[in-house]
Structure 1
Amino acid sequence: MESSDRPALAVHLSGGRLSHLFTGELGLPFRPYVLRTRLRAAMSSLADGALLTEAAHTAGFADSAHLTRVVRRMMGQAPSTLTTGVRWVP
């Protein structure tokens, strides 16, 4: 059994079926959902004045470089640029 199958088995579904239901309900697959949730948490921490490394670790990124790479890839700018004047709604 793969570790990715455990959540599905916990609710008595196959991994494929759980993935299908998750995507159908939320409009995007699980992994991109988790990544966006982590990005939002990191950006919110930065907007609240956290240092880049602290925000990265709080949101589950390996380090500030990892967070910066992901933000640049997904949003086209550095995290510091994006947090200037941004107020994230909970």
Structure 2
Amino acid sequence: MSDSGLSHLFASELGLPFRPYVLWTRPRVAMSSLADGALLTEAAHTAGFADSAHLTRVVRRMMGQAPSTLTAGVRWLS
């Protein structure tokens, strides 16, 4: 299957193109790592960000708040 064909199939099955899917998945992975007790830098690296500043910029742009602010008020279930 060609790259273009795979891209079209992905978008038709999931309802959004691959790149936006990845952009939403990476912060979710980082937030999950934070919930498991990882430090911000560790969570950033786990999710594929260059550093904690990169993670913070992306999360702030996407969600309007820093990751530490978002996770501070959450009571995680274990």
The aligned amino acid for 1:33 is Y
Size of the alignment, in residue pairs?
76
Alpha-carbon distance, 1:47 to partner: 1.6
The aligned amino acid for 1:83 is T
Aligned equivalents of 2:27, 2:9: Cα separation in 1: 23
Under a length normalisation based on structure 1, what TM-score does the superposition of the two structures give?
A: 0.76
Under a length normalisation based on structure 2, what TM-score does the superposition of the two structures give?
A: 0.86
Partner of 1:49: 37
Larger mean CA deviation between 42-51 and 68-77 belongs to 42-51
Stretches of structure 2 that go unaligned for 5 or more consecutive residues are none
Partner of 2:15: 27
C-alpha deviations, 1:24-79, integer Å up to 9, x for none?
A: 10111111111222111100111222111010001110000000000011101000
Stretches of structure 1 that go unaligned for 5 or more consecutive residues are 1-12
Percent pairwise identity: 82
Within 5 Å, which residues of 2 pair with 1:1-90? 13-84=1-72, 85=74, 87=76
Which structure has the larger Rg?
A: 1
Structure 2 counterpart SS, 1:40 = helix
